[in-house]
Amino acid sequence: MSGGTAGVWRELTRPAFLRSSLPWRAAGYLLASGTAGLLLCAALLVTAVTAGVLAAVLVGLPLLAALALVGLPFAAWERWLLRAVRLYDAIPGAGPHQVPSRPGLPAWLRLRYREQATWRELGFAVLAAFVLWPVELVVVGCALAVPGYLIAALPLLLADGDQVNVLKLWQVHSPLVAAALTLAGVVALALAAYPLTAVAAGRAALAGTVLAPAGQELRIGELVSSRARLVDAFEAERRRIERDLHDGAQQRLVALAMALGLARLDAEPDSELASRLADAHRQADHVLAELRELINGIHPQVLTDHGLPDACADAADRSPVPVEVAFELTGRLPAAVESAGYFAVSEALTNLAKHSGARSARIHGHHARGLLVIEVLDDGRGGADPALGTGLTGLADRVAVVDGVLTLSSPPGGPTVLRMEIPCTPIATAA
């Protein structure tokens, strides 16, 4: 059937099968999925009837629409179950769903209703709720209960001392017969393990095929993770270049400037040598200042050392427009997020100084419910338009690489509000 359960079928034909944990996992799987299907069936019926009744007064319509999403949690549970019982090899941790390109419930709903996977999962949920669970419970019931009763014959007789009623079919008085029945029960249990496992494997193959990401979905998952790797690699490269310049060129230049400074002390005052040395000294100092700005532009050390708020405060210090900075963060954020946030803020400040005509600006950042929000507000003339190529598109790209979204409100006459939202979780810090 499917490659995902090939391992289980191979196990079935091995002599060691009965001693392995596989029959028990198969029984557990059918028991869990059957019970869940039964519960789902009840829940669906109750909800559908309620929604149908309420549809008359329109309240039921959103409920019916929400019912279409019932496949999402159910599929997530099924995928978890598949991973837990290890019956299907190729079930990935991430489901087939995409991450919405912008935060918020409306965007999430729009995406989910459009995704093919949502409807596939709904179909599977309906199948599980109305077709599969009776089969599963009957199979697991027969395979466990019948041998179970037989095995219990001897212990029950010994406990009762008089008679035991086996499978409600016949009464046994003799311990010898009871012992034989118990033995038969053990054999039956072993024999039942085969069809039980086969049914479980079939059920797993069906669930795995329907619920695992396929085709385009698989590729999007790969693209997302390869983009994340690229961002990390880029970030690491930035740091390496910054480190090399700091430890190499910058150190040597400082040493050179110092040597020139010392040489000037030795030169005859007002001589030609003194003026040439002074000239060289000036140039060395210039280069040092330029290199310092360049290194800071590549990767500001304060971002690594003190995090986003301090780095933004320092970017604000650099701005010709007075900027007020306020952050409310509980801890450090992932390096890629800090970096994207910082560079977006610093580009926003550059834009603001160049184009806005603002007299003051404010940066406000906070983290709530898995979302870092940074706002840059100014009292300038407004009318900023991404289409005019004022660097706003580049800024949006910076934020997009970490799954963030940039929104801009800039009516003519101002004020301009630039808002970044980046999903992330703070890192617990020791300090």
Rule CB under 8 A: which residues touch other proteins? Answer: 243, 246-247, 250-252, 254-255, 257-262, 264-265, 281, 284-285, 288-289, 292, 295-296, 300-302, 304-306, 310, 313-314, 316-318, 320, 322-323
Q: Quick one: 239 or 419, whose CB is closer to other proteins?
A: 239
Distances (CA, A) of 3 to 8, 30, 197, 358: 10, 20, 16, 63
Cα angle, residue 143 at apex, residues 142 and 148 outer, rounded to 5°: 90
Spatial contact of 94 and 221, defined as CB atoms under 8 Å apart:
yes
Closer Cβ to other proteins, 70 or 323, answer by number: 323
| Residue 288 Cβ vs other proteins, minimum distance, rounded to whole Å | 5
Q: Which residue, 173 or 286, is less far from other proteins as judged by CB? A: 286
Query: In angstroms, what is the minimal distance from the CB of 307 to other proteins?
Result: 10
**Nearest distance in Å: CB 354, other proteins:** 16
User: Token match 């900023």: residue?
Assistant: 384
Tokens of 25: 């996992």
- Min dist CB 251 to other proteins, Å, is 4
**CB-nearer residue toward other proteins: 85 or 316:** 316
Separation of alpha carbons 203 and 199, rounded Å: 6
CA distance 2 to 427: 41
Strand-pair partners of 375? 364, 419
Closer residue to other proteins (CB): 173 or 359:
359
- Nearest by Cα to 391 from 363, 349, 341, 338: 349
Cα 248 from Cα 397, distance rounded (Å):
32
* Integer Cα distance of 330 and 332 in angstroms: 7
Closest approach, Cβ 257 to other proteins, in A, equals: 3
Nearer to other proteins among residue 63 and residue 321 (C-beta): 321
Q: Which helix (H) or strand (E) holds 351?
A: helix 335-351
Contact 81, 204 (CB under 8 A): no
When the beta carbons of 215 and 320 are compared against other proteins, the nearer one is 320
Considering the complex, state which of residue 202 and residue 334 has its C-beta at the smaller distance from other proteins.
Answer: 334
Residue 275 or 393: which CB sits closer to other proteins?
275
DSSP state of 402: T
Least distance in Å: CB of 249 to other proteins?
Answer: 11
Separation CA 81–CA 141 (nearest Å): 19
CB of 262 to other proteins, least distance (A): 6
How far is the C-alpha of 191 from the C-alpha of 180, rounded, in Å? 16
Distance in angstroms (rounded) separating the CA atoms of residues 207 and 75:
9
To other proteins, the closest distance from the beta carbon of 418 in angstroms equals 21
Question: How far apart (Å, rounded) are the C-alpha atoms in residues 288 and 165?
Answer: 97
